[in-house]
Amino acid sequence: MTTLQFQENPTPTTQRPPRHHWNMVVDIDRCTSCRACVIACEAENNIPINTEDRFTQQRVNQWIRIERYWEGEFPNVKARYIPMLCQHCDNAPCEPVCPVYATYHNNEGLNVQVYNRCVGTRYCANACPYHARNFNYWEPVWPEDFRNYLNPDVTIRSRGIMEKCTFCVQRIRRATRGRQDVADGAFAPACVQACPSDALVFGDILDENSKVAKLSKNERHYMVREVLGTLPSITYLKKVEADAL
Amino acid sequence: MYYRRTVSDAQINRELLDVVFRTPVWWVVIVSILGLLVAVFMSTFGLLMNQGLGLTGLNRPVFWGFLITNFIFWVGISHAGVMISAILRLSQAEWRRPMVRAAETMTVFSLMTALLMPVMHAGRPWRIFYWVFPYDFARGIWPDVRSPLVWDPTAIITYLTSSSLFVFTALIPDFAVIRDRATGWRKAIYGALAMNWRGTPQQWKLQGIAGILLSALILPVFVSVHSIVSWDFGVSLVPGWHVSVFAPYFVIGAVLSGVSAVLTLMILMRFLFKLQNYIWEEHIDALGRLLIVVAIGWHFLFWLDIVFALWTAESVETTYWQLRLLTPPWSWLFLLFYVFSFVIPTSLWLFRKVRRSFVWMFWISILVNIGMFLERLIIIVPPLMNKDAFTFQFGTYRPSIVELIIVGGTFALVAFLLLMFGKFFPLIPLWEEKEGQRLVETVKVGNVEVPAMIKE
Amino acid sequence: MHSKGHEAAHAGEHLHGLEDMPPIMTHEEVSRDVIGRFTAVSWRYMAVMGVLALLFAIGLVAFVIRAVGGFDDTSDWGYFVATMGFLTTAFVSAPIVSAGLRFTKAHWRRPLARLAEIHGVTALLVLLMVIPALAALPDPVGRADIWFDFPSPDWFPHMWTMIAMAALALCTVALLWMHALPDLANARDHLPQGKVRRNVASFLSMGVIGTVRFWRVLYRGGLLLGALYIMMYMAVQTILSAEWSLGMVPSWKDSMFPAYQVMKGLQAGTAVVVVTMFVLRTWGGYEKYFGIDQFWSIAKPLLAFSLLWFYMWFASFITFWYGRQPSEINLIQMLFLGPWAVPFFSSMLLNFLFPLGMFIWNPIRKSIVGPTVVAAAVLLGALIDQVRVYVAPMSLNNHFGHVLAEVPVFQWPNILDIAIVVGFISGAILLFTLVAKLVPVVSIWEVGEGLRLVKVRKFHNRWVRVIAKSH
């Protein structure tokens, strides 16, 4: 019997050897569903304000969201939360379907969206099994006095293009530009930085001593929709059942 | 009773070129109405370009909707042209003669219309060239050939080019006929189009070879176009789209809707252009019999799709099937689609009386295409609404008025283009009819005279 | 500009344009010739029968040894099931050729319609083979099953598979019998009194006489039964491939596969007809009926089916290839690229590349040997392909579970498997030779009808055949 083995880190498309492979660990047990990550992400990444209209039209633009599921029958109902964002899959279904290479894999394990190339076919959004991709149906507008709060490091996306979580690539670039090594925890994406319960942990999986590398070997680890073989860069840690202790 | 009408060459010329030389009132009226509708359609297109896709009913997770449905629908309609002309030409079926030109022309126009849909549907249509043309435009990046969306324009533009050539090659002898009868600037234009056609044996031979060669070469293109369109869905991981039977299922469904559209068109032509001498009961009868076979083959693949989706009874598959089959309004649409596209047509087509009645066949062929439009909608939207295991992200979809206008407008556009074509060129090939008249024979079998075809 | 018809002076006379045409016989000549050959039993025929019977007996012995060994291990029964699949794919599908051509009113079908229908009788053998093959199936519980929760008795969980197969066998026998009735009546009326063959023909013909009503029922009923047969064949292929192939592999969810098998059936069924025509022509003395016209005309559908078969394979392959899910990658490994790569690529070569490479040349299509060689290659390829699609799934260790986690190794046939494959295929051929002595192998009435509709006329400066359209 032969069993097919997946390559853990497929050969990157660029020639440089990978120095980092950015990963995240989401500890569901620590998540309180406070949604600080959502707000932090919106502020950091110049995401247009999600007004009530956007919700009723089902056109909410959230790069990270907390999904809430109810489990059990009344009165024994439990609320379950799972933060969901782009999984930066190493075998991403969204990448090969784009006709113009607007989304591709860089050699640091990031699934990168190039806004300038995008023509807005939205095929990547259909292909994504995680619903992680957002489309700009309208030109983004902010209130006049809000414009000074926009993050100068992040492009404002026009209408008609896709966008999604970048693992705050602008922060990664700042922290790693011109440096060989970056200390674990020297920087973090906005959502990780904002998480009050440390449910989100970010780091370089190639660094064996990093927090992410250690946590992702935790016995509670799993990946969402692992059966699809997308090889996500985000590891989830299962909730510890209170009644099971 | 089967008989073949004998029409003289002069009569063929007179009757088929009638509208070319004389502008009937009904033509002016219908074309003006259609032109108005096309204007509305184009303005809506402009508005969509100006304002953005927010005007549509699309959302997250339903990123594709009516416009893509319409795209598939028109690509499907376009399949009839080649189905009729190439296959029937290669198999030397006599009854193809009056319908080849109309079918091929419909192919060309519906493909052009279909090509508009992805343009409207893109978020930034002005950048569409980066996607469609295999060239890097000084950006250093070529289109990604792994993407089915790159296979699409390649296949469709190939198909459009070859079917336009097909139409043109078959038109050359008729251009010459018009050239010889026209005067003034018309003579010059038709003369240029006729490319010095004199009807010499050499020219006829070349024209025949070109027809056979183009038919044989166009067949693989014909199969590949809708297969490739189906792989837009088939190769993605969306449950309900990731189905291996999609390619032949789409192709044969396209043939079903396309041949039905030819049927609609033939009957309309017979009525409008007064072609009673050329389009007979036998022709729609033959189309009806062909359609029974097509519909049953299509139905087999349709059932395979359902059975093997529910095969492992996994929740990712059952959720969208629950939506399709059990949740209104989808369950109603599904029922309508099934009854319109399969139950009513195949059961009625079994009756010779129905197959030979223009009125019945007209309405049935329209029902089939309503059903086939719904089918494409049902294939595309429910899997997006209930995608995967993330019930939190389940969505709904309702087309906006803009999408409805665009979909309706495409019908007006195709009708408009066909009528314009019918004004300037004969919709029934003169030379095919004349050739058909020459190959008729009668054979005495027992005491009955049976019409016969000459077979070499 | 109508050409004036001229009767050809006489058939057989050398005229410009008539070289390719078969000699035109009268109905009586055909009838006398076919009935004569039908009743004659040569030593060659007996020798062939003997060899086939021997091989079939060896196959049966091998089968009994297998059956004594038990039905618990599915991998033991892989080659048996593959033989069953091959018989269904190649022989049972042959009547579709005749039914389909009858629909399209192709005149060249007339001599070959009967032999295609006789091949359909193999369905009876397949029906018998289904019983042990069902016993070899693992428990449907915990596995995907084509019947879902369709109620069937506890003691016979596969009842519906059996019923479907039996219905198909019944239908093919009915199809053959119905279309043979005029010829059986002909044999009854023309054979001398007291002969056993006459009595058999008399019994089988059920005393029909050719009234107008009888012919009307025959035409209508033949078309209806043919349509029914085609649809039932689709259903049976779906069931077979779902029960013994798809259902054996966890996570193999391939809605194309039954359609692929049906297409394989059309291709192999056409090939069987071509090879049988060649055998009858060369050794059976039927060269007057199976001429260039038949071989040339049937080469076109054979080419079309080969191309369509490849298309169906490719459409399903690309879906898995692009899906790239772990289970799909394992599936591709199992079926195409891994241990079964050699059978796969040989069937690709024999069933697609070879027919395509040969048949694009008109001189090869328009010959006797060309189509025969291609058809033989197609049949060999079909056997290899059926071995791949049935033996590989049957040789899996674990048929239960959620995904295909491991790829089975290649399973070589042992001596029992070879005896079973050869024996049961010989059994199918034996059945054909036997039935060919019960009903004439060339349809006298259809050939005769065709002769009545053909006239030779002069068209410009050539002699051409004129074929009337019958209604």
How confident is the model over B12-60, as pLDDT tens digits?
A: 888 888 888 888 888 999 999 999 999 999 999 999 999 989 999 999 8
- Alpha-carbon distance B385 to nearest alpha carbon in chain C (angstroms): 20
Least confident of B4-8, B35-39, B276-280: B4-8
**Is there a domain that residue B4 lies in?**
no
φ and ψ of C376, to 5 deg: -60, -40
| pLDDT, greater one: A63 or B438 | A63
User: Which of C327, C329, C407 lies at the smallest CB-CB distance from A1?
Assistant: C407
Mode of pairing for the β-strands spanning A234-237 and A221-222? antiparallel
Longest dimension (CA), chain A: 66
Q: Which chain C residue shows the shortest CA-CA distance from A7?
A: C326
C158/C383: higher pLDDT:
C383
Q: What confidence tier does C7 reach under pLDDT thresholds 50, 70, 90?
A: very low
Residue A3 above 50 pLDDT? no
B432 in any annotated domain: yes
Please count the other Cβ atoms lying within 10 Å of the Cβ belonging to residue C106: 15
Neighbours of B332 (CB within 10 A): 11
* Range B369-387 average pLDDT: 92
Q: Residue B174: which of B373, B20, B393 has the closest Cα?
A: B20
Percent of chain B with pLDDT over 70: 95
Q: Which among C88, C57, C324 is positioned nearest to A227, based on CA atoms?
A: C324
A227 vs C: CB within 8 A: yes
**C21 occurs within a structural domain:** no
Q: What are C365-406's pLDDT values in tens digits?
A: 989 999 999 999 999 999 999 999 999 999 888 888 777 878
Which pLDDT score is estimated for C17? Answer: 47
Our count of domains for chain C comes to 1
Instruction: Please check whether residue C350 is in contact with residue C374, taking contact to mean a CB–CB distance below 8 angstroms.
Output: no
Is C3 domain-assigned?
no
C335 neighbourhood in chain A, CB within 8 Å: none
Identify the pLDDT of residue B277.
80
Convert the pLDDT of each residue in B400-435 to its tens digit.
999 999 999 999 999 999 999 988 888 888 888 887
C139 within some domain: yes
Give the pLDDT score at C461. 60
Q: What angle do CA B3, B9, B10 make, to 5 degrees?
A: 125
Q: How far is CA B350 from the centre of its chain?
A: 24
Which of A57, A122, A130, A141 is the best mutation test for B, with the most CBs of B within 10 A?
A122
How high is the pLDDT of residue C266?
95
Q: For residue B55, is it within any domain?
A: yes
Give me the helices (H) in B63-183, please.
Answer: 66-77, 79-82, 88-90, 100-121, 128-132, 148-181
CA atoms within 13 A on the CB side of B37: 20
More reliable by pLDDT, C388 or B444: C388
- CA pair distance A123, A135, nearest whole angstrom: 11
CA torsion through residues C184, C189, C192, C195, sign: positive
> What is the widest separation between alpha-carbon atoms in chain B?
78
Averaged over A70-96, what is the pLDDT?
90
Question: Is B298 part of a structural domain of the chain?
Answer: yes
Distance CA C417, CA C420 (A): 5
d(C-alpha C230, C-alpha C226), whole Å: 6
- Asked whether the beta carbons of residue A2 and residue C333 sit closer than 8 angstroms, the reply is yes
> What are the structure tokens assigned to C420, written together?
């079973």
Cβ separation of C338 and A2 shorter than 8 Å?
Answer: yes
What pLDDT was estimated at residue C257? 93
The torsion angles phi and psi of C466, rounded to 5 degrees, stand at -110, 125
The answer, yes or no, to whether residue A173 has pLDDT greater than 70, is yes
Residue C460 in domain = no
Neighbours of chain C (3+ CB pairs under 8 A): A, B
pLDDT of residue C12: 38
Q: What is the distance between the alpha carbons of residues B207 and B173, in angstroms, rounded to a whole number?
A: 9
Contact A22, A110 (CB under 8 A): yes
C464 domain residue, yes or no = no
Is pLDDT of C233 > 80? yes
Of C322, C333, C397, the CB nearest to A4: C333
Strand, helix or coil for residue C138: coil
What pLDDT score was predicted for residue B255?
A: 92
Token pair recorded at residue B444: 């005495």
Whether B209 contacts chain C with CB within 8 A: no
Residue type, B240: G
Nearest to C241 by CA among C268, C267, C260: C260
Q: Which domain holds residue B144?
A: 9-453
State the smallest CA–CA distance between residue C19 and chain B in angstroms: 12
Q: What does the pLDDT read at residue B440? A: 67
List of residues 6+ apart from A24 with CB closer than 8 A: A167, A189, A192, A200, A201, A202, A203, A212, A233, A234, A235
pLDDT of residue C6: 37
Confidence of residue C289 (pLDDT cuts 50, 70, 90): confident
Among B8, B6, B9, B34, CA closest to B408: B34
Closest A-chain CA to B396: A58
Cβ <8 Å between C324 and A4: no
Bridge partners, residue C326, by sequence:
none
Give the integer Cα–Cα distance in Å for B332 and B297: 24
Mean predicted confidence (pLDDT) in C185-201: 80
pLDDT recorded at residue C450: 79
Residues 77-96, chain A, touching B (beta carbon < 8 A) = 84, 93, 96
- Does the pLDDT of residue A6 top 70, yes or no? no
Contact present, C468 and B451 (Cβ < 8 Å)? yes
Mean pLDDT in chain C?
85
Answer whether residue B1 is part of any domain.
no
Whether C8 maps to a domain, the answer reads no
Mean pLDDT over A134-151 rounds to 88
DSSP lists the bridge partners of residue A26 as: A200, A236
Q: Is A228 on the interface with C (CB under 8 A)?
A: yes
* Interface touch C330/A4, C-beta < 8 Å: yes
Predicted complex: ipTM over 0.85 = yes
Could you tell me which chain C residue has the CA closest to the CA of B235? Answer: C319
Give how far A203 is from chain B: nearest CA, Å: 27
pLDDT by residue (tens digit) across C13-66?
444 444 455 556 777 888 888 888 887 888 888 999 999 999 999 999 999 999
Looking at the predicted structure, is the pLDDT value of residue B74 above 90?
yes
Better-predicted residue by pLDDT, B322 or B39: B39
Residue A207 has pLDDT above 90, yes or no: no
Q: Which domain holds residue C220?
A: 27-450
Measured CB to CB, residues of chain C less than 8 Å from chain A are 322, 324-327, 329-330, 333, 338-339, 397, 402-403, 405-409
Contact list, A123 vs chain B (CB under 8 Å): 147-149, 232, 236
pLDDT in the model for residue B451: 58
Nearest alpha carbon to residue C159 among C123, C121, C130? C130
Query: Which pLDDT band, with edges at 50, 70 and 90, does B456 fall under?
Result: very low
Contact C336, C321 (CB under 8 A): no
Task: Please report the pLDDT score of residue B365 as a whole number.
Answer: 93
User: Over 90: is that where the pLDDT of C86 sits?
Assistant: yes
DSSP annotation of A148: G
Higher pLDDT, A17 or C413: C413
Q: Is residue C466 one of the residues assigned to a domain?
A: no
Min distance C122 CA to chain B CA atoms (Å): 24
Which range has highest mean pLDDT (A6-20, B139-153, B180-194, B246-260)?
Answer: B246-260
Give how far A2 is from chain C: nearest CA, Å: 6
Q: Specify the pLDDT at position B450.
A: 58
Query: Considering its fold, how many domains does chain B have in total?
Result: 1
Q: Answer whether C409 sits within 8 Å of A2, measured CB to CB.
A: yes
Closest listed residue to residue C328, CA positions, set B366, A153, B237, B41: B237
C66's tokens: 């297998």
User: Which residues does chain A have within 8 Å of residue C330's beta carbon, measured at their own beta carbons?
Assistant: 4
Q: What is the CATH number of the domain that holds B312?
A: 1.20.1630.10
Task: Select the residue from A69, A118, A134, A137 to test the B interface by mutation, using most B Cβ atoms within 10 A.
Answer: A137
> How do strand B440-445 and strand B448-455 relate by DSSP bridges?
antiparallel
For each of the domains in chain A, give its residue range(s) and CATH number, in order of start.
Answer: 22-244 (3.30.70.20)
Residue of A nearest to C411 (CA): A1
DSSP string, B291-316: HHHHHHHHHHHHHHHHHHHHTT--HH
Strand A234-237 and strand A22-27: the pairing is parallel
**DSSP conformational letter for A68:** E
C374 domain residue, yes or no: yes
Angle made by CA atoms C374, C378, C384, in degrees to the nearest 5: 145
Contact B435, B173 (CB under 8 A): no
pLDDT at B331: 93
- Cα–Cα distance for residue pair A205/A25, rounded to 1 Å: 10
CB-based contact A121 B121, cutoff 8 Å: yes
* Percent of chain C at pLDDT exceeding 90: 44
Distance from CA of B337 to the nearest CA of C (A): 21
Q: How many CA atoms lie within 13 A of A90 on its CB side?
A: 21
Residue B123 backbone zone (phi > 0: left; psi -120 to 50: alpha; other: beta): alpha
For residues C155-172, average pLDDT:
88
Q: How far apart are CA B308 and CA B10, in angstroms?
A: 58
